[in-house]
């Protein structure tokens, strides 16, 4: 039988899916073991048990000076920035996308501008944002918006244009105004796409968030990682990295579940 | 004064004529089939009737109105595909025909309940009451087209335009749709224009069959001239319009 036609059975499939994770863990454990055998003080690859202890401490024990658990405060601050940035970008891209996709005048005015804007490397704007909006929350949120909104806007506009002409004509013969077409024909059909856009741009948003926090911040997951780097605290860094990965995965999973639940009619395309 | 009148209509794209000197008068309640080869301008003609496009020259007027500049509620339309809204349930697709005309496109309270009752009436008339809560993607091609026709008629248009409405259906379903359309017409008289590739279908359903073709043809430049209505058949009584006259004259004359 050809390789392209042989499919794994269910238990084998599960095993295969788990395999890469197990391999990475095993390689890490062995490497860590080897290094610690040569030098017990080695900090580069802490033993899995050490990471576990550190993670437990980070999640449960409050800091002595402030009496607060830093990891949760970092998580709260970072999630606030991430979610407000992405939410603003999503709302912006939705409104602009519908306007550009539906109205020829808007398309002529904005589509080239948005295309050029999406070429600007957002991180290069970071110093300008810090100068304009200070080192507080605003500059970080604006960076995420600038980094994700233009690409999302272009995609939304494209989706609106791709709605079959027949549907738009049909709506007009039923007496729909431009507003009604936007609200009742276009909007419901591109909302599933908006959610998948948000899912895609969350990765980019994390990138900008951690970059901004690394450069100037007093709190946040990215800030903490770059802070403890100075002490070579690999156990803390790894804990934070795994935690961020987990958060990103959960956000993605929640958005997918929401999309499935809310847009039953579009199930096939999700 | 005819119900739909087309006066000396020309249509060209980028200087290339597609239609030239098209003249047509249609009485209220007539079923007009439009046939012709691919690219002969029959779909262009339908777009002019729909007011999706304006003719380069000439006037298309429906029910004595001025030439419309965009599609409106006077014109109902059913396309070959994409005629219903995939994100609305079958019932909501019918209700949309009433709701889309409001300022925000939604009905609430008593008007919504009334519209829902009327929609259920319509659905049982077109045989779709058992799938009222389904989404159109769950329906067969024939059911989707029946829904599209029901939706178009709910808006009470003056003329109904069908753009190869049964072109994507299998032959059996197509015959069922012919019966459905004939029945519907018997109950509610309406003026219909139908573009079709299938001449037999055109003659079966239509009162008149129009054929679009190019009266002038330059072999060195096939795009030089546009098409116009070259034949206008009377398709009533199975395409033999004077048959009944013969039968009448056959009777013995009593003085």
Q: Specify whether the CB–CB gap between B37 and B195 falls below 8 A.
A: no
Q: What is the pLDDT of residue B218?
A: 83
- Domain range enclosing B97: 88-134
Query: CATH number of the domain that A139 lies in?
Result: 1.10.3720.10
Residue numbers in chain A where pLDDT is lower than 70: 267-270
C-alpha to C-alpha distances, A259 to A254, A255, A267, B87, nearest whole angstrom: 9, 6, 9, 14
Query: CATH number of the domain that B71 lies in?
Result: 3.40.50.300
d(CA B45, CA B53): 9
Q: Does residue A127 sit within a domain?
A: yes
ipTM: 0.87
- Determine the longest span between alpha carbons in chain A, in angstroms: 80
Q: Does residue B54 sit within a domain?
A: yes
Q: What is the pLDDT of residue B242?
A: 63
Domain count, chain B: 2
Closest residue on chain A to B77 (Cα): A170
Percentage of residues in chain B having pLDDT higher than 70: 93
* Structure-token pair, residue B11: 């249509």
pLDDT at B7 over 90: no
Q: What is the pLDDT of residue B39?
A: 77
Q: Do B81 and A266 touch (CB under 8 A)?
A: no
d(CA A68, CA A72): 8
Percentage of residues in chain B having pLDDT higher than 90: 24
Q: Do A189 and B86 touch (CB under 8 A)?
A: yes
Is residue B58 domain-shared with residue B29, that is, in the same domain? yes
The DSSP 8-state label assigned to residue A5 in this structure reads G
Is residue B169 domain-shared with residue B57, that is, in the same domain? yes
The number of angstroms, rounded, from the C-alpha of A146 to the middle of its chain's C-alpha atoms is 14
The number of angstroms, rounded, from the C-alpha of B158 to the middle of its chain's C-alpha atoms is 11
Is residue B229 domain-shared with residue B114, that is, in the same domain? no
Is residue B217 domain-shared with residue B179, that is, in the same domain? yes
Q: What is the pLDDT of residue A270?
A: 45
Q: Taking each helix axis as running N to C, give the angle between helix A70-102 and helix A234-262, from 0 to 180 degrees, rounded to the nearest 10.
A: 40
Is residue B80 domain-shared with residue B34, that is, in the same domain? yes
Q: Do B96 and A184 touch (CB under 8 A)?
A: yes
Q: Does residue A8 sit within a domain?
A: no
Candidates A168, A170, A172, A266, partner chain B, best to mutate (most B CBs within 10 A): A170
d(CA B182, CA B203): 13
Q: Does residue B255 sit within a domain?
A: no
Q: What is the pLDDT of residue B239?
A: 66
Q: What is the pLDDT of residue A217?
A: 87
Q: What is the pLDDT of residue B244?
A: 60
Q: What is the pLDDT of residue B249?
A: 57
Whose tokens are 């968030």? That residue is A209
Q: Does residue A125 sit within a domain?
A: yes
Q: Does residue A140 sit within a domain?
A: yes
Q: What is the pLDDT of residue A1?
A: 86
- Domain range enclosing A218: 71-257
pLDDT at B188 over 50: yes
Q: Pick the residue with more confidence: B212 or B254?
A: B212
C-alpha to C-alpha distances, B190 to A107, B34, B183, nearest whole angstrom: 39, 16, 12
Bridge partners of B234, per DSSP, are B208
Bridge partners of B191, per DSSP, are B159
Q: Does residue A136 sit within a domain?
A: yes
Half-sphere exposure of B152 (CA within 13 A, CB side): 32
Q: What is the mean pLDDT of chain B?
A: 86
Is residue B71 domain-shared with residue B162, that is, in the same domain? yes
Q: Do B85 and A185 touch (CB under 8 A)?
A: yes
Q: Do B96 and A266 touch (CB under 8 A)?
A: no
Closest residue on chain A to B81 (Cα): A166
Nearest CA to A77 among A213, A253, A233? A213
Nearest CA to B166 among B34, B238, B93, B78? B78
Candidates B105, B137, B153, partner chain A, best to mutate (most A CBs within 10 A): B105
Domain count, chain A: 1
Q: Does residue A159 sit within a domain?
A: yes
Express each pLDDT in B206-220 by its tens digit.
Answer: 889 999 888 888 888
Is residue B44 domain-shared with residue B61, that is, in the same domain? yes
Is residue B130 domain-shared with residue B229, that is, in the same domain? no
Is residue B103 domain-shared with residue B27, that is, in the same domain? no
Q: Specify whether the CB–CB gap between A267 and A260 falls below 8 A.
A: yes
pLDDT at B71 over 50: yes
CB atoms within 10 A of CB B48: 21
Q: Specify whether the CB–CB gap between B135 and B143 falls below 8 A.
A: no
CA dihedral A76, A77, A82, A84 (to 10 degrees): 90
Is residue B129 domain-shared with residue B163, that is, in the same domain? no
């Amino acid at each position: 039988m050809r390789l392209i036609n042989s499919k794994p059975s269910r238990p084998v499939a599960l095993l295969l899916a788990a395999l890469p994770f197990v391999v990475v863990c095993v390689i890490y454990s062995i490497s860590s073991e080897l290094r610690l055998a040569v030098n017990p003080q080695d900090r580069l690859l802490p033993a899995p048990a050490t990471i576990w202890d550190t993670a437990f401490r980070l999640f449960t024990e409050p800091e002595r000076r402030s009496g607060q658990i830093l990891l949760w405060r970092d998580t709260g601050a970072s999630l606030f920035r991430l979610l407000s940035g992405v939410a603003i970008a999503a709302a912006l891209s939705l409104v602009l996308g519908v306007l550009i996709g539906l109205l020829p005048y808007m398309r002529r005015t904005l589509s080239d501008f948005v295309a050029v804007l999406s070429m600007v490397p957002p991180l290069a704007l970071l110093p300008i944002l810090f100068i304009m909006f200070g080192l507080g929350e605003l500059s970080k949120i604006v960076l995420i918006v600038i980094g994700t909104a233009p690409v999302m806007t272009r995609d939304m506009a494209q989706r609106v244009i791709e709605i079959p002409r027949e549907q738009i004509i049909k709506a007009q013969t039923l007496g729909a105004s431009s507003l009604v077409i936007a609200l009742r024909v276009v909007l419901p059909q591109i909302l599933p796409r908006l959610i998948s856009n948000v899912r895609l741009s969350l990765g980019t948003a994390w990138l900008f968030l951690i970059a901004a926090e690394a450069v100037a911040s007093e709190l946040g997951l990215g800030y903490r990682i770059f802070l403890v780097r100075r002490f070579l605290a690999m156990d803390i860094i790894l804990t934070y990295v795994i935690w961020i990965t987990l958060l990103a995965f959960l956000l993605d999973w929640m958005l997918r579940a929401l999309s499935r639940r809310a847009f039953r009619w579009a199930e096939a395309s999700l | 004064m005819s119900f739909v009148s087309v006066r000396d209509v020309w249509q060209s794209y980028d200087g290339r004529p597609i239609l030239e000197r098209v003249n047509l008068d249609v009485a209220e309640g007539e079923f007009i089939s439009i046939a012709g080869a691919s690219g002969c301008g029959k779909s262009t003609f339908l777009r002019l009737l729909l007011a999706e496009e304006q003719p380069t020259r000439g006037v298309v007027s429906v029910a004595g109105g001025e030439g419309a500049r965009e599609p409106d509620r006077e014109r109902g339309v059913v396309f070959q595909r994409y005629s219903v809204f995939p994100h609305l349930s079958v019932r909501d697709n019918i209700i949309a025909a009433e709701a889309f005309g409001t300022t925000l496109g939604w009905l609430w309270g008593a008007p919504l309940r009334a519209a829902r009752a009327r929609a259920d009436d319509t659905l049982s008339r077109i045989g779709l009451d058992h799938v009222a809560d389904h989404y159109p993607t769950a329906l067969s091609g024939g059911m989707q087209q029946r829904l599209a026709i029901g939706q178009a008629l709910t808006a009470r248009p003056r003329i109904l335009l069908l753009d190869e409405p049964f072109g994507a259906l299998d032959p059996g379903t197509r015959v069922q749709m012919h019966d459905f359309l004939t029945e519907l017409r018997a109950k509610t008289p309406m003026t219909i224009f139908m573009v079709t590739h299938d001449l037999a279908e055109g003659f079966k359903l239509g009162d008149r069959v129009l054929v679009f073709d190019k009266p002038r043809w330059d072999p060195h430049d096939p795009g030089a001239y546009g098409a116009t209505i070259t034949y206008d058949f009377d398709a009533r009584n199975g395409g033999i319009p004077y048959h009944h006259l013969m039968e009448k004259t056959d009777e013995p004359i009593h003085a």
